[in-house]
Amino acid sequence: MNHTAWADINLTALTHNLATVRSLAPHSRVVAMIKADAYGHGLTAIAKALAGKADKLGVARFQEAVALRDRGINSPLLLMGTLLNHETLQWCANNNVAITLHEGNQLPLLLTSQLDHPLEVWLKADTGMNRLGLSADEFTQALSSLQKDSRFRLKALTHFSSADESSSPITQQQIKRFATLTSLAPDMERSLANSAGIIAWPESHADWVRPGIMLYGDNPTTAIETDLRAVMSLRARVIAIKDIRAGDSVGYGATWTATSPCRIAAIGIGYGDGYPRQVGNGCPVSIQGQLFPLVGRVSMDICSVDISQAASPINVGDVATMWGDELPAATIAARAGTISYHLFTGVTQRVPRIYS
């Protein structure tokens, strides 16, 4: 089908990025985070591409775990922070899905659960994120109670709040707090590092690392170079070209007015596809390897670029790259006042994902 807008998903880049994770943390096993529809890249396809390559796959919602099992994906799973009950615990134990204990009131639920199989439980310590996680007292109590119960296989994790800052004293404090807590069970496997921790804090790698955004090609740190490749390239076709005069405006609200005669290309993508409305005039768009400025407001289905300075003719049907292999998503995210995570997960379902 000749799509107007689509996302090219490069699975070779994905596995390259996983290899980069392993090169940075060679002594750690990997939980590859595929929550939120694999950061907008497509849950099932990404899970299949990572099956047998990552040691576990990480999801955030019980429904994501069920969907993967229903689709025949048998990789070990880790279910991060979510609501649990006796039924979901039983299902997880039966389906090789580890769960995260992140709230004190979950402990009695676990202890009174009826399980037919052992359940892997990751005790999440709140070391400073102050979002999900057990307090020091709750962690100690949970560890003491669950160690005595042969139904449970225990691991420990925490989550960094500021690991993208390579000299953050907050991260140093979190590492120390986690070390103190887990010293109560020195043989228990531990996990601290998200993508930023993998890149910027090698002392945090421990037994398991949990890469997310770096798998999809974005480096969440600013000062450390990594060999990551874009997995998603969001593309759209030129659907119209017109010449306008000096003084003519483009788009809703006339937020951009030509100061000289211009040639304008209308691109068949807008905020209805997940391209951010707030990027503003001048945001770069790549066509034929050349960057052109966006002009006028992004609308639901269309945005416009000024192609007056094109080095070669641009025609209806030509392909524009909105972000991806020719134009970093982080560049567009900065223009929109957001982060690449938001861009990737915001690409809507009317945009087909094309895998290669």
Nearest to 39 by CA among 198, 229, 231, 241: 231
Q: What is the mean pLDDT of the chain?
A: 97
Q: Which two tokens stand for residue 355?
A: 């895998």
- pLDDT category of residue 1 using cuts at 50, 70 and 90: low
90 and 187 together in one domain: yes
Whether residue 61 is contained in a domain is answered as yes
| Coil vs helix vs strand at 327 | strand
Domain membership of residue 148 (yes or no) is yes
Residue 2 has pLDDT above 90, yes or no: no
In a domain, 110, yes or no: yes
Lookup: tokens for 51: 């099956």
Span 270-302, pLDDT tens digits: 999 999 999 999 999 999 999 999 999 999 999
* pLDDT tens-place string over residues 158-214: 999 999 988 889 999 999 999 999 998 999 999 999 999 999 999 999 999 999 999
Burial class (CB in 10 A: 0-12, 13-18, 19+), 329: buried
323 and 287 share one domain: yes
Alpha carbon separation from 246 to 255, 260, 291, 304, 306 (Å, rounded): 14, 4, 22, 16, 13
Answer whether residue 348 is part of any domain.
yes
Token pair in block for residue 107: 């402990």
pLDDT-based confidence at residue 227 (cuts at 50, 70, 90): very high
Between strands 353-355 and 5-9, the pairing is: parallel
Cα 229 to chain centroid, rounded: 14
Residue type, 52: G
Considering the domain architecture, whether residues 342 and 266 belong to the same structural domain is answered as yes
Confidence of residue 328 (pLDDT cuts 50, 70, 90): very high
The pTM (predicted TM-score) of the whole model is 0.96
Q: Of 35, 56, 124, 155, which residue is the catalytic one? A: 35
> What's the domain range around 237?
232-355
Distance CA 307, CA 333 (A): 22
Catalytic residue among 155, 216, 252, 271: 252
Kindly state whether residues 183 and 330 are assigned to the same domain: no
Determine the Cα–Cα distance for residues 263 and 323; give it in Å rounded to an integer.
22
Give yes or no for a contact between 324 and 8, defined as CB atoms under 8 angstroms apart: yes
Residue 1 located in a structural domain: no
Residue 252 falls in the annotated catalytic set: yes
- Report the CATH number that the domain containing residue 158 is assigned in CATH: 3.20.20.10
Residues 44 and 122 in one domain: yes
Task: Say if residue 27 is in the same domain as residue 142.
Answer: yes
Q: Is the pLDDT of residue 73 over 90?
A: yes
54-64 pLDDT per residue, tens: 999 999 999 99
